[in-house]
């Protein structure tokens, strides 16, 4: 068969598959949206005011009411001192109760937390962590013994984190200590503000994340995740403050979120599969990235990623795939679609020569294979003349790269932009500008 047809078929099948795959597009398996799981009730003050009925196969049978565990009841004071013990107690009480349980962080208060870990497995069938107020990070770095995490949810299934409140990492204490800001200092890294580890059936929605010490939110080895209506903000010059970081996670939908930070808005790295990001506004920041992959000759696999309906404003990259030399594995079946770029430095970029070190990286033969990538309906402006860069590996070139209805212009509007391409064979449909020369 003609190779072009083969590539198109693969892409078509991939997109069809992602349209009809059971998660996150089918709510049958969704414990968060099916109405017989719970009724939302008024529990602003930690009380469940309405009794709840759960439908089971015997009809309407009263089961235990959902219970709310207000952190204030467990001693949280929101007075500038550490409230983490109270939060831990509220969590433990919720986690050891059955049925649907709520952990409530009341509104109009600011609670301060040292590093905390909310661990499962829990007895409850659903834990709803309601953040109405503000949670702020403890400001003494020496109390972060392990240094890479602040708030962690670990091995919790059926968890929702929501409520419209704010989580503030107080990153301005950490940023000046970064080796990116001060090259004299050792590169020790700083905590991720919120990390979910091995959580299944997770929904995080309607939360503001601000000023993370380093990354804002990480999904690590999770399964069936929805991240909706998140607002992530940090200064554009804050170091390594990725917005949402996805690693080793399967079936994740990131939707309707605004991300303005100093690093990638969304970064998707090894072991991630079935990732969909839609309705994303990004910038300032480094754009939406797959990778970096294959650092230190590692093996990396990322597949079935769809990014659609995104607007990138003033970011250093638009949609990027970045891999280190010397890695193994693959990044494949990736669709970037319906994307608007405004004054983006590198709107479309594949970089197989990624090197984020002070010293240069040696040339190596092996590479993470990049294949079946579709860029469709991408418009807007680049801040530099070169708007499309495919810097693929000489030994393992990019395969199955397609562009369809792409139109990028140099933002001065004086000139059409340019494309710079190496070791890639492009398949183009419709109007595509710029084209590789």
Ligand X SMILES: *[C@@H]1O[C@H](CO)[C@@H](O)[C@H](O)[C@H]1NC(C)=O
Nearer to ligand X, 218 or 383 (CB): 383
The torsion angle over the Cα atoms of residues 74, 75, 78 and 83, rounded to 10 degrees, is -80
Active site residue 328: no
The DSSP bridge pattern shows strands 59-61 and 54-56 to be antiparallel
Q: Which of 149, 216, 245, 286 is catalytic?
A: 286
CB 151 within 8 A of CB 195: yes
By three-state DSSP, how is residue 8 classified? helix
Q: Count Cβ atoms within 10 A of the Cβ of residue 150 and give its class: 0-12 exposed, 13-18 middle, 19 or more buried.
A: buried
Of residues 311-340, those binding ligand X (CB under 6 A): 314
Binding mask 258-297 for ligand X (x = CB under 6 A): ----------------------------------------
Nearer to ligand X, 164 or 236 (CB): 236
For residues 42 and 50, what is the distance between their CA atoms, to the nearest angstrom? 7
- Please pick, from the candidates 10, 281, 343, 422, the single residue that binds ligand X as defined by CB under 6 A: 343
Nearer to ligand X, 249 or 383 (CB): 383
Cα 87 to Cα 161, 239, 286, 435, distances in angstroms: 14, 29, 34, 56
Nearer to ligand X, 110 or 313 (CB): 313
Q: What minimum distance in Å lies between the beta carbon of 339 and ligand X?
A: 17
For residues 337 and 21, what is the distance between their CA atoms, to the nearest angstrom? 18
Nearer to ligand X, 240 or 383 (CB): 383
- Please pick, from the candidates 100, 238, 325, 345, the single residue that binds ligand X as defined by CB under 6 A: 345
Is residue 383 a contact residue for ligand X (CB under 6 A)?
Answer: yes
For the record, the structure tokens of 320 come out as: 């990027």
CB 156 within 8 A of CB 122: yes
Nearer to ligand X, 225 or 344 (CB): 344
Q: Which helix (H) or strand (E) holds 20?
A: helix 3-20
Q: What minimum distance in Å lies between the beta carbon of 312 and ligand X?
A: 12
Q: Does residue 292 have a cis peptide bond before it, meaning omega lies within 30 degrees of 0?
A: yes
For residues 85 and 91, what is the distance between their CA atoms, to the nearest angstrom? 10
Is residue 14 a contact residue for ligand X (CB under 6 A)?
Answer: no
DSSP state of 179: T
For residues 400 and 382, what is the distance between their CA atoms, to the nearest angstrom? 24
Q: What minimum distance in Å lies between the beta carbon of 40 and ligand X?
A: 42
CB 397 within 8 A of CB 390: no
Is residue 125 a contact residue for ligand X (CB under 6 A)?
Answer: no
Total number of residues binding ligand X (CB under 6 A)? 4
For the record, the structure tokens of 308 come out as: 């659609």
Q: Which residue has the tokens 């996670």?
A: 249
Q: What minimum distance in Å lies between the beta carbon of 345 and ligand X?
A: 5
Q: What minimum distance in Å lies between the beta carbon of 411 and ligand X?
A: 6
Q: What minimum distance in Å lies between the beta carbon of 385 and ligand X?
A: 13
Of residues 149-168, those binding ligand X (CB under 6 A): none
CB atoms inside a 10 Å sphere around CB 2: 7
Q: What minimum distance in Å lies between the beta carbon of 313 and ligand X?
A: 8
Q: What minimum distance in Å lies between the beta carbon of 172 and ligand X?
A: 23
Structural Rg of the chain based on CA atoms: 23
For residues 34 and 48, what is the distance between their CA atoms, to the nearest angstrom? 20
| CA contacts within 13 A on the Cβ side of 166 | 17
* Residue whose C-beta lies closest to ligand X: 343
Q: Supply the residues annotated as catalytic.
A: 286
The binding site for ligand X (CB under 6 A) comprises: 314, 343, 345, 383
């Amino acid at each position: 068969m003609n190779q072009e047809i083969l590539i198109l078929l693969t892409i078509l099948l991939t997109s069809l598959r992602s349209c009809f795959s059971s998660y996150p597009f089918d709510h049958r398996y969704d414990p968060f949206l099916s109405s017989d799981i719970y009724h939302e009730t008024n529990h602003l003050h930690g009380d469940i005011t309405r009794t709840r009925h759960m439908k089971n196969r015997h009809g309407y049978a009263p089961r235990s009411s959902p219970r709310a565990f207000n952190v204030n009841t467990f001693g949280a004071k929101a007075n500038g001192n550490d409230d983490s013990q109270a939060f831990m107690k509220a969590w433990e009480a919720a986690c050891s109760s059955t049925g649907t349980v709520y952990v409530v962080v009341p509104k109009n208060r600011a609670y301060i937390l040292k590093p905390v870990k909310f661990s499962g497995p829990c007895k409850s069938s659903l834990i709803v962590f309601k953040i109405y107020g503000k949670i702020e990070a403890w400001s003494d770095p020496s109390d972060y013994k392990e240094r890479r995490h602040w708030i962690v949810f670990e091995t919790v299934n059926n968890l929702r984190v929501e409520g419209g409140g704010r989580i503030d990492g107080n990153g301005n204490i950490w940023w000046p200590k970064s080796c990116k800001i001060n090259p004299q200092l050792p590169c020790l890294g700083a905590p991720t503000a919120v990390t979910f580890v091995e959580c299944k059936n997770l929904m995080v929605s309607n939360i503001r994340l601000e000023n993370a010490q380093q990354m804002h939110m990480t999904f690590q080895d999770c399964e069936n995740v929805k991240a909706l209506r998140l607002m992530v903000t940090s200064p554009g010059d804050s170091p390594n403050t990725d917005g949402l970081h996805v690693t080793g996670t399967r079936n994740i939908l990131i939707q309707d979120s605004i991300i303005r930070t100093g690093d990638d808005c969304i970064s998707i790295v090894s072991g991630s599969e079935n990732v969909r990001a839609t309705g994303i506004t990004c910038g300032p920041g480094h754009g939406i990235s797959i990778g970096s992959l294959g650092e230190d000759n590692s093996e990396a696999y990322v597949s079935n990623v769809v990014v659609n309906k995104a607007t990138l404003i003033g970011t250093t990259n638009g949609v990027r795939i970045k891999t280190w030399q010397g890695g193994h594995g693959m990044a494949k079946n990736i669709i970037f679609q319906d994307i608007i770029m405004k004054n983006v430095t590198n709107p479309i970029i594949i970089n197989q020569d990624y090197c984020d070190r002070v010293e240069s990286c040696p040339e190596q033969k092996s590479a993470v294979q990049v294949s079946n990538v579709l860029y469709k309906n991408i418009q807007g402006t680049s801040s530099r003349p070169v708007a499309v860069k495919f810097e693929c590996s000489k030994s393992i070139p990019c395969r199955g790269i397609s562009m369809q209805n792409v139109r990028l212009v140099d933002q001065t509007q004086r000139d059409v932009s340019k494309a710079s391409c190496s070791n890639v064979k492009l398949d183009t449909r419709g109007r595509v500008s710029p084209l590789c020369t």
